[in-house]
Amino acid sequence: MVKTNFNKETDNLIIKLVKKWEHHPKHYAKIHEVIPEYTSKQIRQRWKDKLNPKLCHDCLNEAEKKFVIRWVNNRKTPEIRWSELVSALQNKFGRLHSENKPKNFWYSEYRKSRSKNNVITQNDDKNEDISPLDILVQEAIKFNFFNE
């Protein structure tokens, strides 16, 4: 399959077809039949990240950023379920963000904290078990990020 960029015409068609078939159990597969140059997965991702009219395209505000850090910190598993975080954000703040928005924020903050302070050095054996979450929480505490 040749990679094709989405365009306004295709976006409008996806919006129209999602509205038409949203209650069909395999509506992205049906849309793929109409627009075969995109896989159903690509169509689904385009809808979830860009086209859903319920999405808030604004940046995360400070309260939402703090919420993301707290939410991830309260999860004691290495796997972060971004869809659950998006639902929690929507319930708390009334704005629906794509899964990529809090995920990108989280990893951006993590990378900044690692590069800025070199919390873990490559030769420091005692820090091998420190997770990205631990580093970000350390930095948040260090700079009073949780104080309101």
Q: What is the domain count for the chain?
A: 2
Judgement on whether residues 41 and 82 belong to the same structural domain of the protein? no
What does the pLDDT read at residue 23?
93
Check if the beta carbon of residue 80 is closer than 8 Å to that of residue 67: no
pLDDT by residue for the chain (148 residues), tens digit each?
Answer: 566 799 999 999 999 999 999 999 999 999 999 999 999 999 999 999 999 999 999 999 999 999 999 998 888 777 889 999 999 999 999 999 999 999 999 999 888 877 766 544 444 445 555 666 776 776 666 666 655 5
Judgement on whether residues 91 and 120 belong to the same structural domain of the protein? yes
Phi/psi for 146 (5° steps) reads -85, -15
Phi/psi for 55 (5° steps) reads -70, 140
Judgement on whether residues 33 and 70 belong to the same structural domain of the protein? no
Judgement on whether residues 129 and 68 belong to the same structural domain of the protein? yes
Cα angle: 125, vertex 127, 129; to 5 degrees: 105
What does the pLDDT read at residue 114?
78
Full domain range(s) for residue 18? 8-51
For residue 126, give the H/E element and its range: none
Q: Is 97 domain-assigned?
A: yes
Residues 6+ away with beta carbon under 8 Å from 47 = 14, 18, 28
Judgement on whether residues 138 and 67 belong to the same structural domain of the protein? yes
Whether the model clears a pTM of 0.75, i.e. scores above it, the answer is no
Q: Is 1 domain-assigned?
A: no
What does the pLDDT read at residue 125?
46
What does the pLDDT read at residue 143?
62
Q: Is 88 domain-assigned?
A: yes
Q: What is the DSSP letter of 60?
A: P
3-state secondary structure of 87: helix
Judgement on whether residues 134 and 75 belong to the same structural domain of the protein? yes
